[in-house]
Amino acid sequence: MTGADILVQVLADEGVDTIFGYSGGAILPIYDAVFRYNQEHGTAMPLIVPANEQGAGFMAAGYARASGRVGVAVVTSGPGATNTVTPVRDSMADSVPIIVICGQVPTTAIGTDAFQEAPVPSIMGAVAKHVFLITDPTKLEATVRTAFEIARTGRPGPVVLDVPKDVQNWKGVFHGSSRLSVPGYRQRMSRLEAAKLPQAACAEFFAALKVANRPLIYAGGGVINGRAADALREFSREFKIPVVTTLMGIGAVDTTDPLSMRMLGMHGTAFANYAVDDCDCLLAVGARFDDRVAGNVPKFASGAKFIAHFDIDASEIDKVKRVHWSHVGLMAEALLQLLAYGREHEFRRDWSAWQRHCEELRVNHAMNYDRDSPFIQPYFVIEEINRLTRGEAVITTGVGQHQMWAAQYFDFRSPRLWLTSGSMGTMGFGLPAAVGAQFAQRNRLVIDIDGDASIRMNIGELETVTTYDLPIKVVVLNNFGDGMVRQWQKLFHKGRMSASDKSLHTKDFIKAAMADGFKYAVRLDQKADVRRVVSEFINFKGPAFLEVIIDRDAGVYPMVGPGHGYSEMITGDHISSRTEVKAKTPDASEMF
């Protein structure tokens, strides 16, 4: 077989059922091999063509996030490869398993500044979980199989394969099972899989839980990546412990569950943040105490006398906040082991007073907004969509205010329904991620909640949606500019709208959507029409585009300013606060 045929056959063996990519000279042998494979196997591995390679990378990431399987992007050399740097870094930051296969100039031309040559290993090595430059064609098959192994195991992440054109054209023997020898990596994975909680550690954990009066679970994206959501839900319900989640952990617990306190952090719900302040025992599961959550580390959960930390990555333990008890290993197994220990030893605590306190927090500090405003409020639009979708739709977002509003006001009954760029905060993520998600969950309603600034970054993918007749619903909450930037400028820079006063705002999004083939493309600018139009939009058969002209001054609240604790949270005019807080200008050491 040719090297290209071998690579495509390994993709098939790994269960790949969709490829996202853009062609070019250095990748043509692989594209030809995909075409011939599909001819022989009845389009078993369709190749979805985006408008841009960045779109291909985010489609692969959206597919991976929505399915839990490895997403695959195939691009050409040079600019094709460099256009995927952002999705690779984004996937690394959010622990998303994707494979990016880049064409490369022939091995004899590497280093000569040949046409469309880029130093992919040097560029990607800093942002990927691993990079392979395949110069020995006899190791091609083993390398591709090993790339999938590395991408999906341990803490998932992106792996990049740089495949020179002569390696693609080489002919050799297909073995069907070969892998590279990576003893160090496999030893680490074996230790993780074998890591069990000793009885003494279980006893110590429950001894601390026994004396706690206000325990709280703090769940992150690692719960979803580690397929531990079911175990976490069972653990929470068995011992009746409330749960807060990070932005990436949304869906780890059903947001409609009485024990769910929803999202914590910089733009978390006020009641979630107050619960963190009030808890005396914090159980961090698959979360890393990042700056959006534990901005002022000494003030974060300062009343917790016992902090436990479960993670698959040993480097996360004590990296940001010191903990009293930790376990590094597979999360679901650890939670189930503790669950079994608690049941065996008939562990019971009456935390009804704490549960009532959390319920009071939910009622007294509920999310709210100006419901009497004559302008369309973005929260109202999301509430209406949520009323129709009932927490069962896949929601993707761009990055900005709309992202936070979606996190705050949508319900999520299951994991892998909430897809957003968390750690990197990459504008332009939402639309291509929705395309990938639709291929991953073909029978599920997929909605991209976007902003006018964010969607511009990859607006070319509107044509991808209609080209493949994907029933994706695209919402643009248009406030004519970079709303989150303007909010910060108002709060912390005395209203000096540097650059945001010149943000792009003349585009006719409806004409753009229609030009890209959307049969349903509607602008909503009257509050009285919201319920009717949203219903029409959601129920439209096929791709649909909705632009909503929202209140330009709508803000994201609550908000914890940089370097501040939750007690200093700004809740705005419509969410009840425990104390009156005014925005303070951040100092030079504090983050955006």
Q: What is the domain-level CATH number for residue 310? A: 3.40.50.1220
Whether 117 is catalytic: no
Domain encompassing residue 502: 378-549
Instruction: Name the one residue in this structure whose structure tokens are 């693609």.
Output: 168
Same domain, 161 and 286: no
Given this model, what pLDDT does residue 9 score? 98
Same domain, 398 and 335: no
Same domain, 185 and 269: no
In a domain, 87, yes or no: yes
In a domain, 573, yes or no: no
What is the domain count for the chain?
3
Question: Average pLDDT for residues 356-377, to the nearest whole number?
Answer: 97
Dist CA 43 CA 402 (whole Å)? 37
In a domain, 245, yes or no: yes
Q: What is the CA radius of gyration of the chain?
A: 25
Catalytic residue among 1, 9, 116, 492: 116
Same domain, 333 and 445: no
Burial group, residue 380, by CB count within 10 angstroms (0-12, 13-18, 19+): buried
Domain boundary among 144, 159, 191: 191
In a domain, 369, yes or no: no
Domain boundary among 549, 564, 581: 549
In a domain, 199, yes or no: yes
Q: Which residues contact 534 (CB under 8 A, 6 or more apart)?
A: 381, 384, 385, 388, 524, 546
Token representation of residue 437: 């998600």
Dist CA 16 CA 46 (whole Å)? 10
Strands (E), 436-525: 446-451, 473-478, 520-524
Token representation of residue 492: 């912390």
Residue 590: pLDDT band (50, 70, 90) is low
Length of the chain: 592
Same domain, 65 and 187: yes
| DSSP codes of every residue in 516-570 | TT-SEEEEE--GGGHHHHHHHHHH-SS-EEEEEE--TT----SB--TT--GGG-B
Q: In what order do the strands lie in the sheet with 473-478?
A: 418-419, 394-397, 446-451, 473-478, 544-549, 520-524
In a domain, 585, yes or no: no
Closest CA to 282 of 334, 199, 214, 340: 214
**Mean pLDDT of all residues belonging to the chain:** 96
Whether 165 is catalytic: yes
Q: In what order do the strands lie in the sheet with 98-104?
A: 47-48, 19-22, 71-75, 98-104, 159-164, 130-133
CA torsion sign, 557 to 561 to 562 to 567?
negative
Same domain, 349 and 479: no
Whether 484 is catalytic: yes
Evaluate whether 93 touches 40 at the Cβ level (below 8 Å).
Answer: no
In a domain, 37, yes or no: yes
Instruction: Name the one residue in this structure whose structure tokens are 């705002």.
Output: 505
Whether 383 is catalytic: no
Q: Which amino acid is located at 341 in the chain? A: Y
pLDDT in tens, 188-202: 999 999 999 999 999
Dist CA 243 CA 258 (whole Å)? 10
Domain boundary among 312, 339, 364: 364
pTM for the whole thing?
Answer: 0.95
Catalytic residue among 35, 115, 174, 592: 115
Question: Average pLDDT for residues 453-471, to the nearest whole number?
Answer: 97
For residue 582, is pLDDT > 80? no
Same domain, 35 and 112: yes
Instruction: Name the one residue in this structure whose structure tokens are 């025992």.
Output: 281
For residue 586, is pLDDT > 70? no
What CATH number has the domain bearing residue 394?
A: 3.40.50.970
For residue 498, is pLDDT > 90? no
Catalytic residue among 20, 54, 124, 165: 165
Catalytic residue among 53, 117, 141, 547: 53
Whether 527 is catalytic: no
Same domain, 89 and 169: yes
Phi, psi of 431 (to 5 degrees): -70, -55
Same domain, 309 and 442: no
For residue 444, is pLDDT > 90? yes
Catalytic residue among 59, 124, 427, 484: 484
In a domain, 208, yes or no: yes
Same domain, 16 and 98: yes
Instruction: Name the one residue in this structure whose structure tokens are 């792009």.
Output: 504
Same domain, 454 and 344: no
Dist CA 562 CA 245 (whole Å)? 20
For residue 585, is pLDDT > 70? no
Same domain, 137 and 68: yes
pLDDT in tens, 66-78: 999 999 999 999 9
Instruction: Identify the weakest region by mean pLDDT among 20-24, 131-135, 487-491.
Output: 487-491
